Chains A and B, each alone.
Chain A
Amino acid sequence: MEGTIANRLLSAVFYPLYVIRSVLSKPFDSFIASRSGPFSGSVELNSHRVYILPTRVGIIFTLLLLVLLLGSINYTKSLGFMLTFLLASLGIVGMLTTWRNLAGLKVSGQGASPVFAGQDAVFAVQLENHSGDQRYAITIASKDKIGDTIDIRPEAIGILRFRRKTTTRGYLDPGRIKLMTEFPLGLFTAWTWVDLSMNCLVYPAAAAKASQVSSSDTQSGEEQAEGIGLEDFAGLRKSQPGDSWRRISWKAVARLDELYSKEFTGGQPELQWIDWLSIDEPSQEARLSVMVRMVLDAQQAGRHYGLRLPTVEIKPDNGQLQQHQCLKALALYRLET
């Protein structure tokens, strides 16, 4: 009950500030946009890019100073003046320190790993601290969503991540990101806007179940049980990412403590064309989703698969790279200009 009254009072006090902010926000935004990038590579946060303003509690602190000043005048307390001025100077030094905590850092975008639509894209931003003092409590935010907070040791690197929701396939550009800090006193917040021209590739969301897989045909046309087409065991090689777990030699794992895949020669691996035309779905996006599911399933099963889209064809292969290329083609289908 106490809290709500206090909150209402505070809101009343701050209301004029909000009005001012909303009036000023448009020209201010375009001013910031003019100097926040986009940058490729790294950008140093110099004095043109780090802005600083008092926080809400900073404004309350100013009110406290006023009360102290009036009290000191009224009661003619010289030491009261001294404390008031000490706190005011503390505010000034706090402002400089907060600004300094962010300024001079070098920022570069580290991009984001591809995700499926609907998943969160996780972007990484690298901060390099070339100075001899530690930077504290630097927070990243994108579109008002707060990301990581980190400290960066002297002459060291810190990685800050932030998440963005994805909804549609294609490239997701997080746009301007905000780096900010309130350290050390919380009276001021220093921030910067940078557009690091980062992208995250968003694959189409995979359909829940590839119900149409049955209607798609395997190229060989022969009825083959899974994995049988690989006839002669040729030996073992170290597993690589993307190898099907079905080919892992579990005996070798037990002996050697490392993953080995069985290699076969002779015979044909099962071959599958994932073909746009063979999929029976009304909408383009649904069709893409089904194809994504098929790519994933084929990769999972260890089949060699190829992709046929009206615009592009990818030759059959298996492996992480193949999967990525297929999914990328699906993600960007009819998007690229």
Chain B
Amino acid sequence: MFKGTGAVQAGDIVDQGRFIINTSQLWALLLGIQLVAAPFYWRIPLTVIMTVAIYTFWVSMIAFNRTRQPGKFVRVMLLLLTLAVMTVSYGTLLGREAGTGFLILLSFLKLFEISSKRDIYILVYLNYFLIASNFFHTQSPWVAVYVFVVVIYLTSLLILFSDRLATIVWQQRMRIAARIILQATPLMLILFVLFPRIPGPLWGLPKDATTAVTGLSEDMSPGSMSSLIQSDEVAFRVRFEEAPPPHQAMYWRGPVFSHYDGQTWTAGFTSKRAKPNLQASANNSGYMKYTVTLVPHQRDWLFALEYPVQLENSGYRLTREMQLLNKRKISSVFQYSVLSDSQIINQGLSEQERKRNLHLPDQLNPQTADLARRWLSESNGQTQSVVNKALRYFRNQPFVYTLNPPLLGNDAMDDFLFESRRGFCEHYSSAFVYLMRAAGIPARVVTGYQGGDKNPLDDYIIVRQSNAHAWAEVWMEGKGWSRVDPTAAVSPDRIESGIQDAVAERDLLPAILISENAWLRHARYQWDSFNNTWNEWVVGFDQKRQTRLFQQLGMQQADWQQLVIWMVVAMFLVGGGVAWWVFRQGSGKRVDKLRRAYDQFCTKLAKTGSRRLINEGPQEYYARIRDRLVPACADTADKIVQQYVRIRYGSEGSRQNIKTFLRAVKGFHARV
């Protein structure tokens, strides 16, 4: 089945009904499959990678003519081996991870038993599919570029196998593939913009449809925040309709934790149906309207400035704890618009909630409890006074804001408040809430992000993982749930200007935050700005964007029927342009002045009743028709033909000669 290159004659693809693939074609296929598989090597198990390596080695040996195509028995064994590897590595063939792993192995396996041209086409299609599955993990511009290049390569493989005489060298093949892709791009853009987007999912997502990413988690324990701080990954970007609020006012509310077990804070019981109990503020001076482009974090919560009041649509909801939740986990770039009101009063505290927000684990942290009770008695039950005492305590005692806090023991709060006194926002917020609860004041921990980095190039706010923060919320009679940020008492810089000015261990922070090089900062902002545009317009292009785009273009009700009509119209118009482009290929290639003039001359000579045949040289043609010309005319034509031959094939191609020739052709008239 496989033959060396030398043995294959041009056009020898089908040999007595048997399909022959030559070694260079086999190499080309192997390279294509490797290009597709390469991005997966970071994600698939080592066993699968090793199997792929063995198969690659084996196919290379076949391509080098060192070994023969394995027989049927060996191929069945290989299939069994593949299934065994799948069982060991994943335990299943289904699901996203296992599915892609299996398809990768299968496409390598297929190289051992190519028996028809159709096998190859299906193999290439399989690889189109595999390369698309990269988008499950990331839709970054880099991946898009890589996929684009690989698609060109895979397309060149299709050309390789429909070029039956194998006359096209690989550079030309790549050029043709790139040209076809380029011609396809305008049509692709039309479909991308106008194809009606149906909000997914159509069916349930498999369990492993999401991957772990950095970001806030469903619980909080010492250390969970400080690890986030060291990541410069973007959590989300925000575009405000008006001027953004100052750094210290931007509290992006995320998960709210009401339950503490002595080590870890969790949400505890929350009612899905309970609505928040809000009391609107007197004026709307605290209104902020903005659009968030959220990087997928595989959680269902959204972030909004405290406190979100008006939501764009019903796809997400506000919980009793004022947390913004989406219906599903966010696994793709997601955009939403929110109206926040910083002045609104949250009155939501039922008896059960009071109980839950006062609950503490039994018999832990006796010193802390004592301290809280002392404060309570000193302030005659005044909540505000207790809060102030606590904040003053943090400010006046030698507390240190650090990314490297020491480990805490069983009585974590006692250890922190009276011994180590070194901690990060999660330590301060949880200690503060603990103190409040011990003093009989309902309190809870709120996590989210604080602040944000303004991109000076494109006026939006970048919120990174390094902006992760935890603060506290206490219940005050009359004022409802009120935000208290104990970290601000210890390290005001953290809140006012950001983490980079607040901690001692600057070298642990992401480079972008501490870079002093203006040019580098500028480049980074540029890149982030591009990323933001990419996320807003490409990755986040969904039904909402589509509708908004059409509203901007003046179509108020762009329903899907209208989109389809526009799409069909645009496809026909642009398709016509592309067809014109495809059909006029090559016609521009012979625009050589001399040749054009000669063609003109031949057209004139065609009056004799005989055109120049495609295989006739200038002299041959002229000799054939010369006798039909009037003698005087023939004399002129003689000269023109001689001139042309001398210029074209001789050494008389000076500009002057060409000019004379052009003039002679212009003045020539064939008389029969």
Q: Which A residues form the contact surface with B (CB < 8 A)?
A: 1-3, 56-57, 60-61, 64, 67-68, 70-71, 73-90, 92-94, 96-97, 100, 103, 128-134, 136-137, 139, 148-151, 154-157, 182-187
The answer to whether the Cβ of B155 comes within 8 Å of any Cβ in the partner chain is yes
Minimum distance in angstroms from A79 CB to a CB of chain B? 5
Q: Which residue of B lies closest to A94 (CB)?
A: B180
Task: Tell me if B125 and A61 are in contact (CB < 8 A).
Answer: yes
Which residues on A sit within 8 Å (CB–CB) of B180?
90, 93-94, 97, 184-185
The interface residues of chain B lying within 8 Å CB-to-CB of A71 are 132
Give bound CA distance, A100 to B183, whole Å.
14
Interface centre among B11, B144, B202, B614 (most CB of A within 10 A): B614
Q: A78-B539, A151-B165 are in contact. Are A86 and B151 (CB under 8 A)?
A: yes
Q: Does B249 contact A (CB under 8 A)?
A: no
B168 contacts A56, CB within 8 Å?
Answer: no
| B residues less than 8 Å from A81 (CB atoms) | 192, 195, 197
Q: Which residues of chain B from 75 to 94 have any CB-CB distance to chain A below 8 Å in the complex? A: 76, 79
- Complex Cα distance, B117 from A70, in Å, reads 27
A154 to B180, CA, bound (A): 19
Contact in complex: A78, B205 (CB < 8 Å): no
Question: How far is it, in angstroms, between the C-alpha of A253 and the C-alpha of B187 when the chains are bound?
Answer: 70
Does A157 contact B162, Cβ atoms closer than 8 Å?
no
Which listed segment binds A: B20-28, B48-56, B547-555, B586-594? B586-594
Cα of A79 to Cα of B538 in the assembled complex, Å: 7
Do A136 and B163 contact each other (CB < 8 Å), given the known contacts A80-B132, A184-B180? yes
CB of B167 within 8 A of CB of A64, answer: no
Q: Could you show 24 A-B contacts with beta carbons less than 8 Å apart? A: A1-B76, A60-B122, A64-B128, A76-B331, A79-B143, A79-B147, A80-B135, A83-B135, A83-B147, A88-B188, A89-B184, A90-B184, A92-B184, A93-B184, A93-B578, A97-B180, A97-B582, A132-B586, A136-B167, A137-B164, A149-B11, A154-B589, A183-B159, A186-B161
Q: What is the CA–CA distance of A108 and B664 in the complex, to the nearest angstrom?
A: 35
Which residues of chain A have C-beta atoms less than 8 A from B240's C-beta? none
Q: A131: which of B79, B579, B586 is its contact (CB, 8 Å)?
A: B586
Indicate if the CB atoms of A78 and B184 lie closer than 8 Å: no
Main secondary structure of the interface of B (DSSP, over half): helix
Q: Provided the pairs A61-B125, A185-B158 are in contact, do residues A90 and B181 lie with their beta carbons within 8 angstroms?
A: yes
- Taking a contact as CB atoms under 8 Å apart, the answer to whether A150 and B585 are in contact is no
Residue of A nearest to B166 (CB): A137
Asked whether A79 lies within 8 Å of B135 as measured between CB atoms, the reply is: yes
User: What residue in chain A is nearest B158 (Cβ atoms)?
Assistant: A185
When the two chains form their complex, are residues A75 and B164 in contact, meaning their CB atoms are under 8 A apart?
no
Other-chain residue from A76, A92, A150 in contact with B187 (beta carbon distance below 8 A): A92
Q: How far is the CA of A194 from the CA of B11 in the complex (A)?
A: 24
Is B332 an interface residue when CB atoms closer than 8 A count as contact? yes
By the criterion CB–CB under 8 Å, are B155 and A79 in contact? no
Contact B162 A184, beta carbon cutoff 8 Å: yes
Q: Is B129 an interface residue (CB 8 A)?
A: yes
When distances are taken between beta carbons in the complex, the residues of chain B under 8 Å from A56 are 118
Q: In the complex, what distance in Å separates the CA atom of A155 from the CA atom of B595?
A: 13
B332 near A184: Cβ-Cβ < 8 Å: no
Contacts of B115 in A (CB 8 A): 3
Extra A-B contacts (6), CB below 8 Å, given A75-B205, A78-B538: A57-B121, A73-B197, A75-B200, A90-B181, A154-B590, A155-B614
Contacts of A186 in B (CB 8 A): 117, 121, 158, 161-162
Q: Does B541 contact A (CB under 8 A)?
A: yes
Report the bound CA distance from A281 to B396 in whole Å. 133
* Chain A to chain B: the 8 pairs with minimum beta-carbon distance, closest first: A133-B586, A89-B187, A89-B184, A132-B586, A85-B191, A132-B589, A57-B121, A186-B162
**Neighbour of A156 across the interface among B117, B192, B195, B614, CB < 8 A:** B614
| Complex Cα–Cα for A93 and B132 (A) | 20
Q: Which residues of B contact A150 (CB under 8 A)?
A: 165
- Interchain nearest-CB distance for A285 vs B (Å): 34
Is there an interface contact between B192 and A68, defined as CB atoms closer than 8 Å?
no
Whether the Cβ atoms of A77 and B139 lie closer than 8 Å is yes
Interface pair A75/B332, CB less than 8 Å apart? yes
Is B164 a contact partner of A149 (Cβ separation < 8 A)? yes
Q: Which of A82, A148, A151, A157 contacts B167 (CB 8 A)?
A: A151
- Asked whether, in the complex, the Cβ of A185 is within 8 Å of the Cβ of B162, the reply is yes
Which residues of chain A are within 8 angstroms of B125 by Cβ–Cβ distance?
57, 60-61, 64
The reply to whether B129 and A67 contact each other, CB–CB distance below 8 Å, is: yes
- Taking CB atoms, residues of chain A closer than 8 Å to B136 are 75, 77
Q: Is B519 an interface residue (CB 8 A)?
A: no
Partner of A100, one of B118, B184, B582, B590: B582
Partner of B79, one of A2, A82, A86, A132: A2
Taking the complex as formed, is B540 at the interface, i.e. its CB lies under 8 A from any CB of chain A?
A: yes
Contact B129 A182 (CB under 8 A): no
Q: How far is the CB of B402 from chain A (nearest CB, A)?
A: 41
A-contact bits for B527-558, CB 8 A (1 contact / 0 none) = 00000000000111110000000000000000
Determine if A79 and B539 form an interchain contact, defined as CB atoms under 8 angstroms apart.
yes
Output the least CB separation between B86 and chain A (Å): 16
B164 shortest CB reach to chain A, Å: 4
Q: Does B176 contact A (CB under 8 A)?
A: yes
Q: Which residue of the partner chain, among A2, A60, A128, A184, contacts B176 with CB atoms under 8 Å?
A: A184
A100 to B539, CA, bound (A): 35
Q: How far is the CA of A97 from the CA of B203 in the complex (A)?
A: 38
When the two chains form their complex, are residues A78 and B333 in contact, meaning their CB atoms are under 8 A apart? Answer: yes
- Asked if B649 is at the interface of the complex by the 8 Å CB criterion, the answer is no
Name B561-610 residues within 8 Å CB distance of A: 575, 578-579, 582-583, 585-590
Q: Give B593 Cβ to nearest chain A Cβ, in Å.
A: 15
CA separation between A73 and B186, bound complex, in Å? 22
Chain A contacts of B518 at CB under 8 A?
none
Min distance, Cβ A211 to any Cβ of chain B, angstroms: 38
Residue of B nearest to A149 (CB): B164
Q: How far is the CA of A77 from the CA of B538 in the complex (A)?
A: 10
A96 with B181: in contact, given A74-B200, A78-B542 (CB under 8 Å)?
A: no
Least CB separation from B331: chain A residue:
A75
Interface check B209, CB cutoff 8 A: yes
Q: Is the CB of A82 within 8 A of B122?
A: no
The minimal Cβ–Cβ distance linking B36 to chain A, given in whole angstroms, is 13
Residues in A with CB closer than 8 Å to B163 are 136-137, 183-184
Taking CB atoms, residues of chain B closer than 8 Å to A77 are 135-136, 139, 332
A2 CA / B186 CA spacing, docked (Å): 40
> In the complex the two chains form, is B203's CB within 8 Å of A74's CB?
yes
Q: How far is the CA of A187 from the CA of B155 in the complex (A)?
A: 11
A271, chain B: closest CB distance, angstroms: 43
